Structure 1
Amino acid sequence: MSDPPALSRRRLLGAAGSLGLAGAFGAGATGTALAADGQGVVPVNWPALGSYSGADAAGTRVTAVLAGSARYLIGPWYAATYTHYLPDGHIDLRGTDERAVRLPAMAAVAAATALVTDVYDPRTLSAANATVRTRNLIRTLAARHLANNPDPGTRWGGGWQTALWAYYTALAGWLFWDRLDTTAQGHLVAMLVWEADRLTTGDGVHLIGTGGDQLYMTRRDGTVVTPGDSKAEEDNWSAAALSLAAAMMPCHPHTARWTRRNIELLLAAAARPADLTSGRRINGIRPASWLQGTNIADDGTLENHARLHPLYMVAFDQSLYQGFVFGLANRAAPRAALHNIDRTYAALVDKPFPLPGGGTSPIYRVDSAEIHYPEGNDWGTHFPFYFGNFDLLVSLTGQDRGISPSAAVWEQRHNEAQLSLMARFPDGRTYGAAGENTYYGREHRVGVMAGQTYLTLFLARNETGDLLRWR
């Protein structure tokens, strides 16, 4: 796949360029700290964060993935999906379920990231038109959330996965903050606060309230609550919404509650049996006292969809993204986000599992980009970027110490395989046959991972030094 034109330009967040970013960021252009605006949000102070060229080897690969994916999502996919405005000026989401809400929210993150970092490839759609489309996604998604929308037929929110959808929408909105009007900004705040506040009603067993969804697959007494179905992914995507609310609105009266609950959910997500007797303390919490169960095995593996599932092991990428979320606010992320990541990564690289024809292999096949799924994969056959994305996050956060080959080696293998998939198509997409990845949001999933990993790279390999910090 040929490099998009944007790759030849220096990427400086907040710098003047074809998108006119310096004017858009107003007070941020001085490099001074920004105060909260009328919505209580502290915008990202881009110029104060320095710059990232994207010229390192891993950066070149991730940039190509993001540029291609954003070009496809905000170009052909958007044009085929949203054909007209509704009478209220919003696009028609055509539903309130995951397909109608999560997919455009993921597309918005990919497009917003590419546009504000000058990674966007305008070869088939101008940056100005891409900006209009991205803004349409953000403002419509926020307006349709139940915090802002009384119509039960068109509103979303308050569901099992909606904290994640709100996180994606609000993240895209925060990146695009000064390109949104005050109405859209207000809707984003109301949406994120509503979802974050709902999560603070949970306790040490339940995600929300005192019944329903629980934090653990296995209780402290050994009872398996949800056989073959770890709660790790739900816990860390819910934590994501809390982390973003705390980073965006540090002076909000609920920030302390969001911060505490974020740490609790991060610890619960990666809880293993050994944590139930550990004497260590993490971010002020002693896991042995607070945890009421576990979600992963002591060896770092986990089960989902009734099988040991590597795709859900790398879903801990959501925990590691907290580094860039707090980094954009020039703050340290909670160390709880790193809890047991090294064990899960070691299980991917080093732990042997039986092969169907005899012998053994780790999940990461030796000297190969291929993945060994010990108990099969019910999602399809091609997922190189899911693993390459996680490899890079692990490398950037130093969670591969003592593991060989290193995460950087695996990142190269997996992300080169990802670029080979993309090279098959001229429009920037990744997938062809349905069996390669059966998830209906497969292109959007690649885009949202690429956006978040690029932002992590921007902070970790910044010209001013590593801006990823953990407290």
Structure 2
Amino acid sequence: MTEMLGPAYRVVQFLLLTLGCMSLFPRSSAGGEVALRERVVPIEWKRFDRAIQANEDYHQCAQILLNSAHHNLIWAPGGAERIEKEWRDLTGRQAHDVVRPGCSASFGLAVVLRTGVFDEQAVGVSEEEALARTVRLIKAVVAAHDGVGWKYPWQSAFWAAYVCHGAWMLWDDLDDATQEQVATIVEFEANRFITPGYRVPYWNGRGGDTKAEENAWNTTILQLACAMMPGHPNVPRWKEVCSRLMISAYACQEDMQCDVVLDNRPVKDWLDGYNARDDGTVVNHGFIHPDYMCCVIFSVQSYLTQSLAGQPVPEAADFRAASVYRVFVTHNWPSPPYKEPGGTIYVPDQAEVYFPEGTDWFAGMISMYYLMDCCADALDWDSDLPRPASHWMRLRAAEMLKRQARHADRRHFAPGEFRGYPGREQQFIRLLSGAFLFKWLDAHGAISPKKSWLDQP
């Protein structure tokens, strides 16, 4: 990951890109400026006002999400207060551990509040109070952005995508000033990727630092910008760089000769390199890292974002995603040379996954794999696999419910689990809310079809 280059490098890079962003759209003089928030098209929730047939998988996912909301609504006031008081002094890892959780929880709680799944008894507070806590958290986080990406520019577009997506879902509950801040952040972060100084990064088989996950997560702000502000003059450029990042993220070397046309262009013409090994795996932190293979879901998130806006999903959105899932299910890792006991990353009849070369995160962090399973189930990535995605999806759902039942506040992690990241419970609700949104949109028959979004005005 790019943090290996050091914070000074990233800050200089960010400042150069910021100067480019500022020149993209000179603001008109006082009195003649149109508020950026007026470009935002709110979600038309009436499109989803119909009865649905929800199955047991849907109800299980909803229960896990509500349990997580229970804990995060307890956490939210303190999380917001800390950001309000400390944001001016936060730098580097401090911002990562304080601001990023607020972005994640904002998105997760907004999903709970807007999809009709809210249950006062399950979450422990009234809907009015839950909304107030979520709005306060959103306001604290967006105020802290302050035009400098929370002083953590390497991930700021990723964080912004989640807090601003949550804000978009709660748009009519935000005051004008907060709406303007949100729209400004979305435009600012999206414009960073269309400045003359920006280049899509590639691994190209060198070292142990794939660029797969950062390319994938940077698509999230571009997806959102196109969904929220479809009439913005920069939409064509946002879409083009988004498609390029989506295809680049998990491209293998062989894709540099691929003639398949996605979003009006052969795959090979989108690429200047590759980020995955020939077998579809990625190397990060110096070893084969399944957690970072899962990050393909950030590009796939376009199925959620564009569907909420009633827009087509770009053809590039799930490029190589089904291949990554196939590797999880079918690729065998013999031991030795790989760690005992060997086998496939997805272990039959087991919720937790196998790490061929170990992990430096938490081996029991199954929520991201659950989200992958939900995507595979909804998008038919499992149609020719030896076991359906639902096999692991249900195993993981049962395990997550079991873990939450250990705690009165329904948190997921016990002391000592995933202790390296203070925002683990907020990451959990972000992942579960993505999984639930897939199920919710699917149940409504509202997942948009794929087509070249570059054909759209």
With over 3 angstroms needed to count, the CA separation of the structure-2 counterparts of 1:405 and 1:323, relative to structure 1, is same
Q: Which residue in the other structure is 1:129 paired with?
A: 129
1:387 to 2:376 alignment? no
1:267 is displaced (CA, Å) by 0.5
2:80–2:102 CA contact under 8 A, matched in 1: no
Q: Distance in 2 between matches of 1:426 and 1:300?
A: 41
1:71–1:122 CA contact under 8 A, matched in 2: no
- The aligned runs of 1:87-236 (5 Å cut-off) are 93=87, 95-96=90-91, 97-123=95-121, 124-147=124-147, 156=150, 159-201=153-195, 209=198, 215-218=201-204, 224=206, 227-236=207-216
Q: Distance in 2 between matches of 1:412 and 1:101?
A: 32
Q: Distance in 2 between matches of 1:83 and 1:266?
A: 36
With over 3 angstroms needed to count, the CA separation of the structure-2 counterparts of 1:176 and 1:288, relative to structure 1, is same
Q: Which residue in the other structure is 1:24 paired with?
A: none
Q: Which segments of 5 or more consecutive residues in structure 1 lack a partner in the other structure?
A: 1-35, 203-207
Structure 1 range deviating more: 240-249 or 155-164: 155-164
Structure 1 range deviating more: 401-410 or 357-366: 357-366
1:43–1:248 CA contact under 8 A, matched in 2: yes
With over 3 angstroms needed to count, the CA separation of the structure-2 counterparts of 1:298 and 1:162, relative to structure 1, is same
With over 3 angstroms needed to count, the CA separation of the structure-2 counterparts of 1:43 and 1:74, relative to structure 1, is same
1:270–1:294 CA contact under 8 A, matched in 2: yes
Q: Which residue in the other structure is 1:73 paired with?
A: 72
Q: Spell out, residue by residue over 1:305-352, the C-alpha distance to the aligned partner (whole angstroms, 9 max, x if none).
A: 111111111111111111010000111111201111111111100110
Structure 1 range deviating more: 279-288 or 341-350: 279-288
SS for the counterpart of 1:387 is helix
Q: Distance in 1 between matches of 2:275 and 2:65?
A: 31
Q: Spell out, residue by residue over 1:153-203, the C-alpha distance to the aligned partner (whole angstroms, 9 max, x if none).
A: xx725711000111011101001000001110000000110000011126x
Q: Which residue in the other structure is 2:38 paired with?
A: 39
Q: Which residue in the other structure is 2:313 paired with?
A: 333
1:52–1:458 CA contact under 8 A, matched in 2: no
Higher helix proportion (structure 1 or 2): 2
1:267–1:336 CA contact under 8 A, matched in 2: yes
Q: Distance in 2 between matches of 1:422 and 1:278?
A: 45
With over 3 angstroms needed to count, the CA separation of the structure-2 counterparts of 1:157 and 1:119, relative to structure 1, is farther
Match of 2:443 among 447, 455, 461: 461
Structure 1 range deviating more: 119-128 or 372-381: 119-128
1:274 is displaced (CA, Å) by 1.3
Q: Distance in 2 between matches of 1:50 and 1:383?
A: 35
1:460–1:467 CA contact under 8 A, matched in 2: yes
Q: Distance in 2 between matches of 1:304 and 1:200?
A: 26
1:146–1:157 CA contact under 8 A, matched in 2: no
**Paired letter, 2:101:** L
1:170–1:188 CA contact under 8 A, matched in 2: yes
- The aligned runs of 1:232-247 (5 Å cut-off) are 232-247=212-227
**Paired letter, 2:66:** A
**Paired letter, 1:383:** M
Superposition TM-score, scaled by structure 2 size: 0.84
Q: Which segments of 5 or more consecutive residues in structure 2 lack a partner in the other structure?
A: 1-34, 452-457
Q: Distance in 1 between matches of 2:241 and 2:51?
A: 32
Q: Distance in 2 between matches of 1:416 and 1:317?
A: 22
- The aligned runs of 1:314-393 (5 Å cut-off) are 314-355=294-335, 360-393=342-375
Q: Distance in 2 between matches of 1:336 and 1:82?
A: 36
**Paired letter, 1:45:** E
With over 3 angstroms needed to count, the CA separation of the structure-2 counterparts of 1:310 and 1:437, relative to structure 1, is farther
Q: Spell out, residue by residue over 1:215-249, the C-alpha distance to the aligned partner (whole angstroms, 9 max, x if none).
A: 2111xxx5x1xx11111110011111001000110
Q: Distance in 2 between matches of 1:199 and 1:294?
A: 19
Q: Distance in 1 between matches of 2:103 and 2:293?
A: 23
**Paired letter, 2:222:** L
**Paired letter, 1:176:** L
With over 3 angstroms needed to count, the CA separation of the structure-2 counterparts of 1:91 and 1:70, relative to structure 1, is farther
Identity of aligned residues (%): 29
Q: Distance in 2 between matches of 1:409 and 1:127?
A: 34
Q: CA RMSD in A?
A: 2.2
1:438 is displaced (CA, Å) by 2.9
**Paired letter, 2:194:** T
